[in-house]
Chains A and B, each alone.
Chain A
Amino acid sequence: MEHIRFILIQNRAGKTRLAKWYMQFDDDEKQKLIEEVHAVVTVRDAKHTNFVEVICVADSLSVLQFRNFKIIYRRYAGLYFCICVDVNDNNLAYLEAIHNFVEVLNEYFHNVCELDLVFNFYKVYTVVDEMFLAGEIRETSQTKVLKQLLMLQSLE
């Protein structure tokens, strides 16, 4: 059963700007995963692929199980948007799902920047939930998502 295991937005210094988990991890595992993702992703450059398999992270996960995951990531300015999926999952579909998500954020926050994600974290979670739910892609239409977000905003 393939699905997204987590979505992570980090800056270059490794500060987490969003973490959404779609399977059970305990706090230590989450911390290790965050550090591991930062370590593998930040050393890569434009000549590398946007995919990286991550090996041997959390103690309570068997190594075998973890080898079945990969990180699909894309860098926007100083931020890394990362999606962790199973190795069998479709790389390009998730790579573009990231971009679709970023375009929605950009539209919603009018030229999104890192601080928007920090101060409006509760809105960012709403955007995530509109587009991804239960580790699956929920809605892909930018028009529909933005319409819904504006409707919710009007309730504030």
Chain B
Amino acid sequence: MLVQFFQRTHDSLLLLGKSKEAEIKRINKELANIRSKFKGDKALDGYSKKKYVCKLLFIFLLGHDIDFGHMEAVNLLSSNRYTEKQIGYLFISVLVNSNSELIRLINNAIKNDLASRNPTFMGLALHCIASVGSREMAEAFAGEIPKVLVAGDTMDSVKQSAALCLLRLYRTSPDLVPMGDWTSRVVHLLNDQHLGVVTAATSLITTLAQKNPEEFKTSVSLAVSRLSRIVTSASTDLQDYTYYFVPAPWLSVKLLRLLQCYPPPEDPAVRGRLTECLETILNKAQEPPKSKKVQHSNAKNAVLFEAISLIIHHDSEPNLLVRACNQLGQFLQHRETNLRYLALESMCTLASSEFSHEAVKTHIETVINALKTERDVSVRQRAVDLLYAMCDRSNAPQIVAEMLSYLETADYSIREEIVLKVAILAEKYAVDYTWYVDTILNLIRIAGDYVSEEVWYRVIQIVINRDDVQGYAAKTVFEALQAPACHENLVKVGGYILGEFGNLIAGDPRSSPLIQFNLLHSKFHLCSVPTRALLLSTYIKFVNLFPEVKPTIQDVLRSDSQLRNADVELQQRAVEYLRLSTVASTDILATVLEEMPPFPERESSILAKLKKKKGPSTVTDLEDTKRERSVDVNGGPEPAPASTSAMSTPSPSADLLGLGAAPPAPAGPPPSSGGGGLLVDVFSDSASVVAPLAPGSEDNFARFVCKNNGVLFENQLLQIGLKSEFRQNLGRMFIFYGNKTSTQFLNFTPTLICSDDLQPNLNLQTKPVDPTVEGGAQVQQVVNIECVSDFTEAPVLNIQFRYGGTFQNVSVQLPITLNKFFQPTEMASQDFFQRWKQLSNPQQEVQNIFKAKHPMDTEVTKAKIIGFGSALLEEVDPNPANFVGAGIIHTKTTQIGCLLRLEPNLQAQMYRLTLRTSKEAVSQRLCELLSAQF
């Protein structure tokens, strides 16, 4: 009957062919029929109910939505007939989402079946839990299933299901699965006679052991002896569990995985037995196959690869590691693509072991060949990965050359990754930096589109940091730029390098200043805006380097296409540079446009990018080795921060400085933020100008409104911490300056600055600190604070010092805010509303309605109001969702009573904040400060 219906449906679908509409029509007719049966007066018998539920399921699996029948399916669960129950459970496993009403009914049926002692019904119930695995089910059954699992009279097939059902619940809700007596009994299932039970239990134990290694430690010796019995058995011993002459391959794999949760066994007997197992597995790989079927070799090799994973995981037996490597080496030339792929993949991890690194390297020619001949891109990808992993100083030139030549034809999908790898290897193993520069320029030539910013920033950093390569770099980029069509990335690198070091090749008449300029400018009009902006900076650098081309460059800057460029950035640069070149004296030009100082040493941003692309695990090894070797990569002059040159416009981007770390505030305004007038200010006396506020300091400032201690500012050099206390109108603040470098700060001068408006209202007193801050040291400064009258602005803390010969200038807002002088006031509801009414003058009330910027959490809100300084008054507002507070602001001259009310609207994710105080400015300021906190 059922089959007939399906046949009809299916046939009609086939007949109707492309007509989606006809299909839908046919389905809708059937759905209407089923709906009428379910709604009909006559109660349906179990068989009919099953039939219709099954039809619904079929229609759903054809891809149509089903919005009824759930109740009928749940009814089927309580049937005593297997077929009806099975369809009911299937419908629920496939279609039910956590609909709370139904879940209760479903759980009830499951409970009955679990208690039924009928293994078939128990199995159905367990499979349903394992499929749905919801939290509600975990709550209901996580306590019960362990009992089923370890009970003496439970059937084997039920044990299998129970073990995996428990595993599913542990995965979704580990907190609900209580560890207990059952855990030790579960471990002993590894000894069970029934290999199916062992197979299921091993999965459960592996997952539990990953999270609770101590508790499941005894599983190691049991797993080893089980494995030993399997690998030494004759191919017929295990009967049902022998697959194409391989004894229990899946169970062997699982046991070997379980062992990878642990270090090598400590007990020498266990350890010896395990080593024997692993040797046996390796030996079997050398034996002639017992069957020509691919199933035989696959099953055998599944075990072999897992054994190799364990050997690599232990990384303690040189003999086994080298044997594994040799075995994989054979696979590298196997006719099965799968095996070549897996061997490359597995060798990648072997390459990072000190015991097998050399053995892996012997296969370099085969791997390079794979790069050239494999048809499957994923195999070539693995070959690239392996070359990268086996690369060291001895073979770097060969590997980099091969990767570069592969890049010419590589699939687009993996080009960027190869570019990153080449860039990293070239830098890491560069003995000769001319080789490095050549390699990167080749990269740009071959795959310019795939050379990301990180790569070309890095080559510039390295050239700037190493004076022995600067002349070569200038010469090489100059030659590369001669090509009629060169990639824009090359123009960027070329522009930057010639701007810095063009003078080193200017003596050669073939690359005279004018020729250099004309060469660069011939590319100008083909480039995008950011590159043109960079080139303009190169030009102004040329004005300084080569006075003889100044008129030519001025003409270019003066042309309409520059001075009136539609792009604001380009126009501004042209205007400023032109003015700079006319106004400034040679000395000032030389100072402003001096060569870039070396970049501080830090992790390569290219490596960071590769990690991001590939996930952390794949590149960790490299990172570690990179750390030790970084010394000889970028050794040289004492590192100094980059943006300290007064006008460092050609800096490609602040990103160069580091990942996420905010650069120290530049001493001069960047060209986009200041007009010509400001520039002149900078030139007249650059050291005495207060730096603009450090980026991010606004955020930190807001964080201190409701708290008194923490880190106020941090960059690569300096950390500023605060600790403060306030009482009435007085306060004391401890400022801690930490030198994060290993070099002294000299002339270290923090200054507190109050604006003219602030000065009469806030008194700050402090003593100067020692002008020398040793590397790694912290100095402390105490500020005594007196609030004379209410105030709005915050004082600014400016810090100036010299570091490694460069001038540093940092400014941050000091979080001394009006609310710090709050004294909380407790009052009853009646008093509160009386005072509230008294402050009803429109100037006294300030209200702000704003969107929540943080999750609306009651406890957090309460903590913030208390941190703000006012009392939090409970049971005052008739609406318990609202918050009210009261307090007095103490100043030397007066005291100001303040009331506040905060009304959250969860639905709209909005707040309304109302402040009432006797002084308008105070209401205003407190409202601003507090609004920013939610």
What residues make up the interface of A, taking CB atoms closer than 8 Å to B? 1-3, 16, 44, 47-53, 64, 67-68, 90-93, 95-97, 99-100, 115, 118-122, 125-126, 129, 133-144, 148, 151-152, 155-156
Q: Are A48 and B615 in contact (CB under 8 A)?
A: no
1/0 per position for B176-200, CB-CB distance to A under 8 A? 0000000000000000000110011
Q: How far is the CA of A112 from the CA of B426 in the complex (A)?
A: 56
Contact of A140 among B10, B243, B305 (CB under 8 A): B243
Q: Are B302 and A64 in contact (CB under 8 A)?
A: no
Q: Are B199 and A126 in contact (CB under 8 A)?
A: no
Contact of A96 among B82, B199, B295 (CB under 8 A): B295
Q: Is the C-beta of B407 less than 8 angstroms from some C-beta in chain A?
A: no
The total number of A-B Cβ pairs within 8 Å is 149
Q: Is the C-beta of B338 less than 8 angstroms from some C-beta in chain A?
A: yes
Q: How far is the CA of A45 from the CA of B196 in the complex (A)?
A: 35
Q: How far is the CA of A93 from the CA of B246 in the complex (A)?
A: 12
Q: Are A129 and B301 in contact (CB under 8 A)?
A: no
Q: How far is the CA of A144 from the CA of B161 in the complex (A)?
A: 14
Q: Is the C-beta of B559 less than 8 angstroms from some C-beta in chain A?
A: no
Measured CB to CB, the closest approach of chain B to A24, in angstroms, equals: 8
Q: Are A141 and B195 in contact (CB under 8 A)?
A: yes
Known interface pairs A137-B203, A138-B164; A99-B295 also in contact (CB < 8 Å): yes
Q: Are A92 and B298 in contact (CB under 8 A)?
A: yes
Measured CB to CB, the closest approach of chain B to A105, in angstroms, equals: 15
In the bound complex, residues from chain B placing their C-beta under 8 Å from that of A68 are 615
Q: Are A90 and B199 in contact (CB under 8 A)?
A: no
Q: Is the C-beta of B248 less than 8 angstroms from some C-beta in chain A?
A: yes
Q: Are A143 and B240 in contact (CB under 8 A)?
A: yes
Most B CB atoms within 10 A — which of A1, A2, A90, A99?
A90
The interface on chain B, measured as residues whose beta carbon lies within 8 A of the other chain's beta carbons, has a size of: 63
Q: Are B615 and A140 in contact (CB under 8 A)?
A: no
In the bound complex, residues from chain A placing their C-beta under 8 Å from that of B248 are 140
Q: Are B61 and A121 in contact (CB under 8 A)?
A: yes
Measured CB to CB, the closest approach of chain A to B612, in angstroms, equals: 8
1/0 per position for B566-598, CB-CB distance to A under 8 A? 000000000000000000000000000000000
Contact of B164 among A97, A99, A119, A133 (CB under 8 A): A133
What residues make up the interface of B, taking CB atoms closer than 8 Å to A? 3, 6-7, 10, 54, 57-58, 61, 81-83, 86-87, 90, 93-94, 120, 127, 130-131, 133, 157, 160-161, 164-165, 167-168, 171, 195-196, 199-200, 203, 207, 210, 239-241, 243, 248-251, 253-254, 257, 295, 298-299, 301-302, 305-306, 337-338, 341-342, 375-376, 378-379, 615
Contact of B167 among A50, A136, A139 (CB under 8 A): A136
Q: How far is the CA of A77 from the CA of B329 in the complex (A)?
A: 34
Contact of B253 among A1, A49, A93, A139 (CB under 8 A): A93
Measured CB to CB, the closest approach of chain A to B752, in angstroms, equals: 46
Q: Are B207 and A1 in contact (CB under 8 A)?
A: yes
Measured CB to CB, the closest approach of chain B to A89, in angstroms, equals: 9
In the bound complex, residues from chain B placing their C-beta under 8 Å from that of A148 are 157
Measured CB to CB, the closest approach of chain A to B871, in angstroms, equals: 44
In the bound complex, residues from chain B placing their C-beta under 8 Å from that of A93 are 249-250, 253, 302, 306
Instruction: Pick 20 A–B contacts, CB within 8 A, sort by A.
Output: A2-B257, A44-B376, A64-B615, A68-B615, A93-B250, A96-B249, A115-B10, A121-B57, A122-B54, A129-B131, A133-B160, A133-B165, A136-B164, A136-B203, A137-B203, A137-B254, A138-B199, A141-B196, A143-B239, A148-B157
Q: Are A134 and B164 in contact (CB under 8 A)?
A: yes
Task: Select from chain B the residue with minimum beta-carbon distance to A92.
Answer: B302
In the bound complex, residues from chain A placing their C-beta under 8 Å from that of B86 are 122, 126, 152
Q: Are A156 and B82 in contact (CB under 8 A)?
A: yes
Given contacts A49-B337, A122-B86, 4 further A-B pairs with CB under 8 A are A119-B10, A125-B94, A133-B200, A138-B164
Measured CB to CB, the closest approach of chain B to A156, in angstroms, equals: 5
In the bound complex, residues from chain A placing their C-beta under 8 Å from that of B94 are 125
Q: How far is the CA of A133 from the CA of B7 in the complex (A)?
A: 30
In the bound complex, residues from chain B placing their C-beta under 8 Å from that of A90 are 253, 257, 302, 305-306
Contact of A1 among B210, B241, B250 (CB under 8 A): B210
In the bound complex, residues from chain B placing their C-beta under 8 Å from that of A119 are 3, 6-7, 10
Q: How far is the CA of A67 from the CA of B90 in the complex (A)?
A: 31
In the bound complex, residues from chain A placing their C-beta under 8 Å from that of B131 are 129
Known interface pairs A133-B127, A141-B241, A156-B83; A47-B376 also in contact (CB < 8 Å): yes
Q: How far is the CA of A52 from the CA of B160 in the complex (A)?
A: 31
Q: How far is the CA of A44 from the CA of B168 in the complex (A)?
A: 33
In the bound complex, residues from chain A placing their C-beta under 8 Å from that of B375 are 47-48
Known interface pairs A68-B615, A138-B200; A91-B342 also in contact (CB < 8 Å): yes
In the bound complex, residues from chain B placing their C-beta under 8 Å from that of A115 are 10
Task: Select from chain B the residue with minimum beta-carbon distance to A120.
Answer: B3
Q: How far is the CA of A2 from the CA of B3 in the complex (A)?
A: 38
Q: Are A48 and B157 in contact (CB under 8 A)?
A: no
Task: Select from chain A the residue with minimum beta-carbon distance to B129.
Answer: A134
Task: Select from chain B the residue with minimum beta-carbon distance to A45.
Answer: B375
Known interface pairs A93-B249, A122-B87; A142-B240 also in contact (CB < 8 Å): yes
Q: How far is the CA of A47 from the CA of B131 in the complex (A)?
A: 36
In the bound complex, residues from chain B placing their C-beta under 8 Å from that of A138 are 160-161, 164, 196, 199-200
Measured CB to CB, the closest approach of chain B to A154, in angstroms, equals: 9
Q: Are A139 and B196 in contact (CB under 8 A)?
A: yes
Q: How far is the CA of A124 from the CA of B630 in the complex (A)?
A: 58
In the bound complex, residues from chain A placing their C-beta under 8 Å from that of B210 are 1
Known interface pairs A95-B298, A119-B10, A140-B196; A134-B167 also in contact (CB < 8 Å): yes
In the bound complex, residues from chain A placing their C-beta under 8 Å from that of B195 are 141
Q: How far is the CA of A120 from the CA of B58 in the complex (A)?
A: 10
Known interface pairs A48-B337, A68-B615; A1-B171 also in contact (CB < 8 Å): yes
Measured CB to CB, the closest approach of chain B to A3, in angstroms, equals: 8
Q: How far is the CA of A134 from the CA of B169 in the complex (A)?
A: 9
Measured CB to CB, the closest approach of chain A to B16, in angstroms, equals: 15
Task: Select from chain A the residue with minimum beta-carbon distance to B54.
Answer: A122
Contact of A155 among B54, B61, B82 (CB under 8 A): B82
Q: How far is the CA of A125 from the CA of B277 in the complex (A)?
A: 37
In the bound complex, residues from chain B placing their C-beta under 8 Å from that of A120 are 3
Q: Are A140 and B133 in contact (CB under 8 A)?
A: no
In the bound complex, residues from chain B placing their C-beta under 8 Å from that of A122 are 54, 57, 86-87, 90
Contact of A97 among B82, B250, B257 (CB under 8 A): B250
In the bound complex, residues from chain B placing their C-beta under 8 Å from that of A2 are 257
